[in-house]
């Protein structure tokens, strides 16, 4: 089983729409959670961390459900510039260290 699984999409939405998607993770010992954004042929960039109580950053809202081991991201009032692949990332303990485990990404396309 993959450590992090995401719906690959694509989610094709009009400008101004709301789009939401989830990811699930398999390791209950996962320590911290993030959403990264990756544009085509570019490196991932941190979008936001995900906290247990849920958190917002402008039009982006992230939720974490530790009991069910899933994380969600909601984008409100979507813009053309939100078109990207969104990577669910989990920080896993690895002995005395940690490592990031990435989902394969959810592709979002916002159309005019």
Partner 1 sequence: GAVVSQHPSWVICKSGTSVKIECRSLDFQATTMFWYRQFPKQSLMLMATSNEGSKATYEQGVEKDKFLINHASLTLSTLTVTSAHPEDSSFYICSARVLGGWANYGYTFGSGTRLTVV
The binding site for partner 1 (CB under 8 A) comprises: 4, 8, 32, 34, 41-46, 49, 87, 91, 97-105
As measured in angstroms, the least distance from the Cβ of 79 to partner 1 is 23
| 13 in Cβ contact with 110 (< 8 Å) | yes
As measured in angstroms, the least distance from the Cβ of 103 to partner 1 is 6
In this structure, the strands spanning 55-57 and 84-94 are: unpaired
Cα separation, 61 vs 1, in Å, equals 27
| 68 in Cβ contact with 78 (< 8 Å) | no
Cβ nearer to partner 1, comparing 10 with 16: 10
As measured in angstroms, the least distance from the Cβ of 23 to partner 1 is 11
């Amino acid at each position: 089983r993959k450590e992090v699984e995401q719906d690959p999409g694509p989610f094709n939405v009009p400008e101004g729409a709301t789009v939401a998607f989830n990811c699930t993770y398999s390791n209950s010992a996962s320590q911290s959670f993030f959403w990264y954004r990756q544009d085509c042929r570019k490196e991932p960039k941190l979008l936001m961390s995900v906290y247990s109580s849920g958190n917002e950053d402008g039009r982006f809202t992230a939720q974490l459900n530790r009991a069910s081991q899933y994380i969600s991201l909601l984008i409100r009032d979507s813009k053309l510039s939100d078109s990207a692949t969104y990577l669910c990332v989990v920080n896993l303990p690895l002995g005395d260290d940690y490592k990031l485990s990435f989902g394969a990404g959810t592709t979002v396309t916002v159309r005019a």
